[in-house]
Amino acid sequence: MTKHDQILAHIESLPVGDKISVRGIAKMLSVSEGTAYRAIKEAENVGLVSTIQRVGTIRIETKTKENIKNLTFKEIVKIIDGDVLAGKKGLKKPLDKFIIGAMTEKSMLRYITPGALMIVGDREGVQRLALNNGAAVLLTGGFEVSQDIIDLADEVKMPILRTSHDTFTVGMLINRAISDQMIKKDIVLVEDIQTPESETCYMTTKDTVEDYVKLVEKTGYTRFPVVNKSNRLVGMVTAKDVSDKSLTQSIEKVMTKDPRHAKSHMSVASIGHQMIWDGLEIIPVVEDDLTLVGIISRQDVMRTVQLAQKQPQAAHKLTDHITNQIVEKEMPEKGDAIFTFVVTPQMINNLGTLSFGVLNQIISSVVRSTMLSRYNFHSVIEQSSLYYFKLIQMDSEIEIRTQVIEVGRRSGKVEVSVYKDNIVSAKAIAVCQLMDPV
């Protein structure tokens, strides 16, 4: 095993959350800092570690990205913890909708469509009706089916699934899976907006400052990724890098090495956060081996984030359930705002009082609403300090007051006070990053 492989094996053996450094790895394993640096970079590319701003390089849990574009009957089997009785050739077909067979056969016929899933018990007539009309069958209660129904399922290539769960539980599980799928579809990824490599302007390490000047004149841009002969990202070059440099100077000598980069599976929101914080106009998009596959621009990211925030939500997340109950009152003073919120049973902890996490979400939401309504800025909460003085009981109506302390070009600071019966119950200071004006 090479030293490089030894370092990777050591990193993989570390507990999730451990912090590592080039110097620490080099000292522990008796290798050069250069060798340690290259191994840590590869560990980051394969998802073993992640570098977090102002924190350092942290061992993270390796996760396989789920990419279910369509919920198939095969996924339904896993969700309901069931088994397949027949029609296995249809397992890869996508689920269109599910129907609960609680009506007469004549009444339910108009609801059965190809690709649907009929949830029913031991009613053989309904099972046959569903299969003859292109729908799959899910048996609840662990019932058996006749050989005729099994043969029919195999003939029409639509599955018959079985579970021991009752109909209510099955409907809830499938509905939750469909909702989760819709939420995932709402998350815009880098690959959805990136400019492909074939349309990307970039430079190579063999180019010169003169080549950079010509490319600027041709494209009108001033920032370009730099790749090596294998088309792998090695740097970025900007007007600042080539200022006062000789036209014959190599780009490799003046470029900024190890630039920030994104990967296609990352969310646009997370990259937007990074671009705002670092003041980046473009970020190269790379594969795991740093092969350049395109770029994304700050303008495209901001436009996408703002458009996503304006779109109606097809599926509700937990945060939607909280923020939908926040009501803003009209305030005459610019920069200040007052909101009200009623604590429902879903918002409490095991003590019957408002959950700390829910309170944090309320504060984040009112800060974003304040920056949007008062200054026309979308914002991302960077950090907040919350002091919870008095426990807030279920069914309480609370009042949240915000006061903008300062607003800069990229960030804002807001003080938040939470009142119950005109008595301060909590206070917070939130710092947020500001996106481009709406």
Amino acid at 288: D
Query: What is the Cα 307 distance to its own chain's centre?
Result: 16
Tell me how far apart the alpha carbons of residues 305 and 435 are, in angstroms, rounded to a whole number. 9
pTM of the model: 0.47
Query: What is the Cα 18 distance to its own chain's centre?
Result: 24
pLDDT of the residue at 416: 94
Contact 360, 385 (CB under 8 A): no
CATH architecture of 3-59: Orthogonal Bundle (1.10)
Instruction: Count how many residues are written for the chain.
Output: 438
What stretch of H or E contains 434?
A: strand 423-437
pLDDT tens per residue across all 438 residues of the chain: 678 878 888 888 888 888 899 889 999 999 888 888 888 887 876 678 887 756 678 887 655 444 444 678 888 888 888 899 999 999 989 887 888 888 888 888 888 989 899 999 889 999 999 999 999 999 998 888 999 999 999 999 999 999 988 888 888 888 777 766 655 555 678 888 888 888 899 999 999 999 999 999 998 889 999 999 999 999 999 999 998 899 999 999 999 998 989 888 887 877 777 776 677 889 999 988 899 999 998 887 877 766 655 544 444 567 777 888 898 886 655 667 899 999 988 888 888 899 988 999 999 999 988 888 888 887 888 888 999 888 899 889 999 999 999 988 778 999 999 999 989 999 999 998 887 654
Query: What is the Cα 250 distance to its own chain's centre?
Result: 39
Specify the pairing of strand 97-100 against strand 116-120. parallel
**Residue appearing with tokens 């998350």:** 187
Tell me how far apart the alpha carbons of residues 359 and 5 are, in angstroms, rounded to a whole number. 46
SS3 175: helix
Strand boundaries in 28-171, DSSP class E: 49-52, 56-59, 83-86, 97-100, 116-120, 136-139, 160-162
Residue 153, C-beta contacts closer than 8 angstroms, at least 6 positions apart: 85, 86, 87, 90, 131, 137, 159, 160
Q: Is 82 left (phi over 0), alpha (psi -120 to 50) or beta?
A: beta
The dihedrals phi and psi of 117, each to the nearest 5 degrees, come to -125, 115
Tell me how far apart the alpha carbons of residues 98 and 115 are, in angstroms, rounded to a whole number. 9
Q: What string of DSSP letters covers 304-371? A: HHHHHHHSPPSS--HHHHHHTT-EEEP-SSTTEEEEEEE--GGGB-TTSBB-HHHHHHHHHHHHHHHH
pLDDT of the residue at 433: 83
Tell me how far apart the alpha carbons of residues 90 and 136 are, in angstroms, rounded to a whole number. 9
The dihedrals phi and psi of 131, each to the nearest 5 degrees, come to -65, -40
Strand boundaries in 389-422, DSSP class E: 397-407, 411-420
Residue 387's Cβ-side half-sphere holds a number of Cα atoms within 13 Å equal to: 8
CB atoms within 10 A of CB 184: 14
**Residue appearing with tokens 């769960």:** 165
Helix-then-strand count for the chain, H and E:
16, 22
The CATH class of the 73-186 domain is: alpha beta
Tell me how far apart the alpha carbons of residues 21 and 219 are, in angstroms, rounded to a whole number. 40
CATH architecture of 318-435: Roll (3.10)
Domain ranges of the chain: 3-59, 73-186, 191-305, 318-435
Tell me how far apart the alpha carbons of residues 241 and 141 are, in angstroms, rounded to a whole number. 70
Residue 188, C-beta contacts closer than 8 angstroms, at least 6 positions apart: 267, 268, 269, 304, 308
Tell me how far apart the alpha carbons of residues 431 and 286 are, in angstroms, rounded to a whole number. 31
Amino acid at 422: N
Burial of 190 (0-12, 13-18, 19+ CB in 10 A): buried
pLDDT of the residue at 67: 42
The CATH class of the 191-305 domain is: alpha beta
